[in-house]
């Protein structure tokens, strides 16, 4: 049977990445330019404007202390992004180090390290996050660290698997043969080749970080008032469900959209990197 060549750029394949990327782009934009874009300050009270519904002056209404919800949501985006980026970075860096070392040195090192990762991995994430927050003390920085720690096993596992397959290739043998130092081999030969799957994992980690951070803030273990976080906004909103539903809808929708965006980006990247044989 004759094959048919594909001529135009395959938009279909990149559809998820583009959509996800667009959403992520918007969120990042909001996060970076928060002070500039927000119509009001997120912490300014206005007792005359408590619990007002969405209006021209306040697009998403006001909360129980008269603060503008839209501004708070935008600033919370900044918080979420910071936590997500730093936590993912911690997970990525330490996880990659551990995983690569385990794959490279093998033997006892591999066994001990990966066992430890496995054990860490078997804790339910939210539970571990809560316990770590209780342990470290509730603050945004600690939330980043706690979530970062939770990500380490996942990245370590992935890094190890990727590194293993790279290690089996010829060029690593050659590098060893010409006497390259361990460090050089790892940085020059191994790392560049495991970047792709790690990036995909990072995108997924981002979304999970946003989810975890919101969950922690919801429980009062993350960002503390008056700092706005989607999680703690959702928590206070619960007290006013009947009179002011927008207090619960806005931050929740923000979390949802952010997680969705990063998920789509991650899925899209994963699909795009995999050779797709299923196209009919």
Partner 1 sequence: MRNLILSRLLAFALTLLVASSILFVAINVVPGSAARSALGIDATPQALARFEALHGLDRPLVVQYADWLGRTFTGDFGKSFQNGVDVGPELLRRIPVTLELAILAFLIANVIAIPLGAFAAMRHQRIPDKSISFIATLLGAMPNFWLATLLVMVLTLRFRLLPPGGYTPFFDNPILNLKQMIMPALSLGIVSSALLIRIMRTAMIEVLSSDYIRTARAKGAQERVVMLRHAVRNALAPYVNVAAVEFGFLFGSVVIIEDIFLLPGIGSFVLVGIINRDYPVLLASALTITLVVLIINFIVDIAVGLIDPRRVTRHR
Partner 2 sequence: MSEPRPHARNRERPALAIRGLTVDFKRRGGDLRAVDQVSLDVWPKEIVGVIGESGSGKTMTALSAMRLLPYGAKVSGTIELGGRDILSLDEAGMRGLRGDRIVLIPQDALQALNPTMPVGRQVGEPYEFHRKLSWRRAAEKVIDLLRAVKIADPEIRAREYPHQFSGGMQQRAMIATGLALDPELIIADEPTTALDVTVQARILKLLREIRDQRGSAIMFITHELGIVAELCDWVYVMNGGRVVEDGPVARIFGAPRADYTRMLLAATPSIHKRKERPR
Binding residues (CB under 8 A) for partner 1: these are 115-116, 118-120, 122-127, 130-132, 134-135, 137, 207, 211, 214-215, 218-219, 221, 234, 237-238, 241-242, 245, 248, 252, 255-257, 259-260, 263-264, 267, 280
47 binds partner 2, rule: CB under 8 A? no
Tell me the per-residue interface mask from 4 to 43 with partner 2, x by CB under 8 A, - otherwise: xxx-------------------------------------
Which region, judged by CB under 8 A, interacts with partner 2, from 2-10, 70-78, 109-117, 177-185? Answer: 2-10
CB 264 within 8 A of CB 16: yes
Distance CA 110, CA 4 (A): 47
Instruction: Of 250, 213, 212, give the one whose Cα is nearest residue 236.
Output: 250
Radius of gyration of the chain (CA): 23
Whichever of 95 and 237 has its CB closer to partner 1, that residue is 237
Question: What is the spatial distance between Cα 67 and Cα 99, in angstroms, rounded to a whole number?
Answer: 46
Instruction: Please tell me whether residue 277 binds partner 2 under the rule CB under 8 A.
Output: no
Q: What is the DSSP string of 18-71?
A: HHHHHHHHHHHHHHHTHHHH-SS-TT---GGGTTPPS-SSSTT-B-TTS-BHHH
Residue 10 Cβ vs partner 2, minimum distance, rounded to whole Å: 10
Is the distance from CB of 39 to CB of 60 less than 8 angstroms?
no
Query: Does 278 engage in binding with partner 2 (CB under 8 A)?
Result: no
Nearer to partner 2, 6 or 168 (CB): 6
Nearer to partner 2, 56 or 279 (CB): 279
């Amino acid at each position: 049977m004759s094959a048919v060549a594909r001529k135009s750029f395959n938009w279909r394949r990149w559809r998820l990445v583009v959509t996800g990327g667009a959403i992520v782009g918007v969120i990042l934009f909001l996060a970076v330019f928060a002070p500039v874009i927000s119509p009001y300050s997120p912490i300014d009270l206005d007792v005359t404007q408590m619990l007002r519904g969405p209006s021209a002056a306040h697009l998403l209404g006001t909360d129980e202390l008269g603060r503008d919800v839209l501004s708070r949501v935008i600033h919370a985006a900044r918080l979420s992004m910071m936590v997500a980026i730093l936590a993912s970075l911690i997970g990525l860096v330490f996880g990659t180090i551990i995983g690569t070392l385990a794959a490279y040195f093998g033997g006892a090192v591999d066994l001990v390290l990966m066992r430890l990762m496995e054990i860490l991995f078997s804790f339910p994430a939210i539970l571990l996050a809560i316990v770590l927050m209780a342990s470290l003390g509730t603050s945004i920085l600690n939330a980043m660290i706690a979530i970062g720690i939770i990500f380490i096993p996942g990245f370590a596992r992935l890094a190890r698997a990727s590194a293993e397959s790279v290690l089996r290739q010829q060029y690593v043998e050659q590098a060893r043969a010409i006497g390259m130092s361990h460090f050089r081999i790892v940085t020059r030969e191994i790392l560049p080749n495991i970047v792709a799957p790690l990036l995909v994992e990072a995108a997924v980690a981002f979304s999970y970080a946003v989810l975890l951070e919101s969950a922690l803030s919801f429980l009062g273990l993350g960002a503390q008032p008056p700092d706005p976080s989607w999680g703690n906004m959702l928590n206070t909103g619960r007290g006013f469900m009947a009179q002011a539903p927008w207090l619960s809808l806005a931050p929740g929708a923000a979390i949802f959209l952010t997680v969705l965006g990063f998920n789509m980006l991650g899925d899209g990247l994963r699909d795009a990197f995999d050779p797709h044989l299923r196209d009919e």
